[in-house]
Amino acid sequence: MRIVVIGAGALGGLVGAHMTEAGQDLTLIEINESRARLLTENGLLISEGSAGERCVRMKVAAKITGLPTADLIFVAVKSYQTEDAVRSALPVIGDGTYVLSMQNGIGNTETMARILGPQRVLCGITYHSIQHVGPNRLRYRAGIKPIQIAPHDGRITPAIEAIGEVFRQAGLDTNVVEKIDDVIWQKLLHNAVVNPVSALTGLTCREMLDDEDLQRFMRALCMEIVAVMRARGVPIMDEEDPYRPVIGSQKALGKNRPSMWQDLSRSNCTEVDAINGAIVEEAARLGLAAPLNFGLVRFIHSRERQKILRKRAIAETLASAAQAAPVAKARSLPKMHLRPTQLAPDGGMPSGRVPLRMAPRLKELLRNYYLDLQAASDGADRMVACCSGTGPVEIVRALGLTPYFPENHTALIGASRQSGRYIPRAMAEGFSQFASSAMACDIGAMLIGDSPLVSLYGIAGPPRPDVVVYNTNYGHSLIRWFEYYGRQYRVPVFGLHPSAALDAVDLIDTGAAAQQMFRLVSQLQGVTRRSLDVDRLAEVVGLSAQAARLWREILNLAESVPSPLTFFDALIHLAPMVLMRGTPEAVEYYEILKAELEERVAGNIAAVPGERYRFYWEGPPIWCALRPLSELFMSHSAAIVASTYADIFALDGFDPKNPIESMARTYTSIFPNRSDDYKQSYLVSRLRRYGVDGVIHHEGRTTPEHSNARYGLDVSLRRATGLRSIVVEADTHDLRLFSMDRIMSRLGEFIEMQEPAQETAAGSADGPDGPWKGNENE
């Protein structure tokens, strides 16, 4: 028999599954295309009671078009969908087709008969209890009574008997009878009493049974319906106490809730019109009053409206919000918009950082440096030395070599957010993502043959070195980086390895360092085929001394409150100290920069307008996130006034009268080369000098040597100074190794914590700008 089941809900699914298993040619119509796909691909899983589950694969279609004429159409949709379902089925309804409804409530077969004529309509009733336990899973219990099918016009034909046989063969106990009007009303009684009450109260059947008030109401409701049934001539199941069987069905349902509750909870329409609504209509037809049923229908409709309208309203709000301007992220709303800012007399930007006049000059300086570097790289008579940032560049310069600094190159890569392109290339070469990401960026760029220098300065790229020189004073992880250069370019690599982790730097240590420097001199003399001019060296060292002293004085200006410069400014302006240490240009630059900053101090001009908080940054910079960090601090009126990183380059101790020995002492004494005890007392004294509110420790994932917090320095520093601190777990270059969102929110939280505890009534918050909206500190 060709069967089409319209509606792939619990009932349609169950009947469809049984018929398909029995070998009938059955198609299940599910208009939701995703669900139709799911059922087609995964089948329907059904289980009876606690028995094993079986998977039934059926033919599932989303549309009826194209199907051949059916012998039987089984309508298993919700009552309010009956009309549409039947109309949609018209193409497959032929002269001999029967249409069977086994739906809840009353009126479905009348609707179908209106459209198709009475002869083809069959009415059915089932006592199965079926539950959805997943999008394609059903659990069911067979009814206590068999399924009953009756023709709408009361005339049983052989074809109808055959349909009953098909059901029985499919394992569904079924009787074909002349009329089922009575049993329909008897089932309706249960539905009409239990469904709406559970739907409105949200209670399970068990809970309703325990509620005296509800039971009294439901009993009265039952009797109202029974009166209608009696007037119709329907036999009452339990004449003595018509409500007793309804108690029974509540017990049977137990902790479940009926379908009307489920429909409402999913913000869908209910079948109340076909249940209680039909009772009200029938009562009116019979001249009876059904006020309780009438009331329930109104309540349910109201609830439907609330839920469905709410669902629609939410969807609309979200749809229109998505089209509107993006939601202002309240947290990042810059505070400066709300507070009066200090305007520089020469017109610094009112709502942003106050830029230093030196900035364009610096650009010019660096541009010249890189052009010269390019010339040195191209020139046959010039040589380039790859040099570490705190390496013995004075010797390099004195021998006429032009220094190039991979650490500076990688800082540029990080700051220009190119890390993501280069690190994977280095990883493909064999470097772990947990090895220095700074190194990986630089090496990756080298291997790809690309560099930010190209677009920034218009040069061909980093130069090809003739020799590589490093000093492990900044850390031992440098060694592998610089040795890679040596292998890559097949050039000699010369390293200085001063004694490390020193508490005091005594003569033995400086002696050893000096010896290494002498060795380096002779090695470089070999490479350059020149001998070192000691006067030239003294000159260079003298220039380094001047630049270093000026840089130190510049950093000291940050002790002013408010500070004329921040950590982010320092990162930009220390470039000459690294790239041009030992040249007159660097000295000249810092003289002018210092003058400008002194002018700021005199005019009380702050780098961070309205400076409220002062912090110290311990650890390397997070190069790959400088801009968002700088904006975060600016938006909180917080100034990072000092840092270890900038301090390192205030190299103290160069003496032109004793160039090698003073270099040995100076370079060996830098912060990263010292013991934890030294680091701690150094930091304690710096923190006091700068008058900071708190300390930010950057624990770089790939910079273990500079992640002092790993060894508890933050804790001991806090104990020694009483200052609050935060450990930010991030990295210098690799954004994948940490959560930017997380560190931004933690830093924001840390800064907010500095706000004084008691906000006295009125006063501070209601400043000249009045009460304001946004990120309030408490």
Partner 1 sequence: MSELARPVAGLDVGTEFVKAIVLAGDGAILGRASVPTRGYFQERAREALDAALDDAQTAEDELGGLCATGFGASLVHGATRTASEAACHARGAFHHIPGVMTVVNIGGQEPRVIRVDGSGQPTEIASLRHCAVGIGTFLMFAARHLDVHPTQLQELAAGAEQPAHVGSYCSVFAGVELLERLREGASREEVALGCIHSVAERVAEIIRFEAPIRVTGGVAEFFPGVLKRLSGLTGQTVEAIPEPMLAGALGAALKARDLASRAGSTPGAVVGTQAATAKPKEQG
Name the residues that contact partner 1, by CB under 8 A: 310, 314, 317-318, 321, 327, 329-332, 724, 726, 729, 738, 742, 745-746, 748-750, 752-753, 757-759, 761-762, 765-766, 770-771, 773-776, 778
Strands (E), 246-299: none
What one-character-per-residue DSSP string does 407-437 give?
Answer: HHHHHHHHHTT-HHHHHHHHHHTT--TTS-H
User: And the tokens for 51?
Assistant: 């028995």
Residue 682: CB minimum distance to partner 1, A: 24
**Which one, 23 or 774, has the nearer CB to partner 1?**
774
Q: Using an 8 Å Cβ cutoff, are 427 and 420 in contact?
A: no
In three-state form (DSSP H/G/I as H, E/B as E, the rest C), the secondary structure along 689-709 is HHCCCEEEEEEECCCHHHCHH
The residue (of 37 and 331) whose beta carbon lies closer to partner 1 is 331
State which residue, 69 or 332, has the beta carbon closest to partner 1: 332
Q: Closest distance between partner 1 and the C-beta of residue 341, in Å?
A: 22
Q: 240 vs 778, which CB is nearer to partner 1?
A: 778
CB of 327 to partner 1, least distance (A): 6
In the complex, the smallest distance separating the C-beta of residue 330 from partner 1, rounded to whole angstroms, is: 4
Q: Closest approach of Cβ 586 to partner 1, in Å?
A: 40
Shortest distance, position 295 Cβ to partner 1, whole Å = 22
Nearest distance in Å: CB 708, partner 1: 15
Strand partners, 129: 141
Distance CA 271, CA 258 (A): 12
Residue-wise over 472-505: b if at least 16 C-beta within 10 A, else e? bbbbebbeebbebbbeebebebbbbebbbebeeb
Nearest approach in angstroms of CB 770 to partner 1 is: 8
Closest CB 752 distance from partner 1, rounded Å: 6
CB of 732 to partner 1, least distance (A): 16
Whole-angstrom CA distances from 584 to 176, 538, 550 are 109, 13, 12
- Euclidean distance between the first and final Cα of the chain, in Å? 76
Q: Is 308 helix (H, G, I), strand (E, B) or coil?
A: helix
CA torsion 277→283→288→293, rounded to 10°?
Answer: -20
715 CA to centre of own chain: 31
Nearest to 750 by CA among 613, 655, 587, 631: 613
Q: Would you mind telling me the total number of residues written for the chain in this entry? A: 778
3-state secondary structure of 394: helix
| Least spacing, CB of residue 45 vs partner 1, in Å | 17
Q: Tokens representing 273?
A: 């019109």
What is the DSSP track for 368-392? HHHHHHHHHHH-TT--EEEE-TTS-
Assign residue 203 a region: left if phi > 0, alpha if psi is -120 to 50, beta otherwise?
beta
Q: How far is the CB of 636 from partner 1 (least distance, A)?
A: 12
When the beta carbons of 235 and 774 are compared against partner 1, the nearer one is: 774
Question: Where would I find the beta strands (DSSP E) of 501-620?
Answer: 613-618
Choice between 308 and 557, CB closer to partner 1:
308
Task: Give the residue with the Cβ less far from partner 1, 233 or 770.
Answer: 770
- Residue closer to partner 1, measured from CB, 329 or 529: 329
- Of 271 and 731, nearer to partner 1 (C-beta) is 731
With beta carbons less than 8 A apart as the criterion, state whether 614 and 589 touch: no
Nearest distance from C-beta of residue 753 to partner 1, angstroms: 6
Using CA atoms, how far residue 694 sits from 606, 618, 691, 724, 766, in Å, is 19, 11, 9, 5, 26
Least distance in Å: CB of 317 to partner 1? 7
Which is closer to partner 1, CB of 512 or CB of 765? 765
347's tokens = 């017109």
Contacts of 719 (CB under 8 A, 6+ apart): none
Residues 388 and 203: their CA atoms lie apart, in Å, by 75
Q: Which of residues 318 and 371 has its CB atom nearest to partner 1 in the complex? A: 318
Of the two residues 261 and 750, which places its CB atom closer to partner 1 in the complex? 750
Closer residue to partner 1, CB minimum distance, 287 or 771: 771
Q: Which neighbouring-strand residues pair with 615? A: 640, 694
Q: Which is nearer to partner 1, 220 or 318 (CB)?
A: 318
Angle 359-378/584-602 helices, nearest 10 degrees?
170
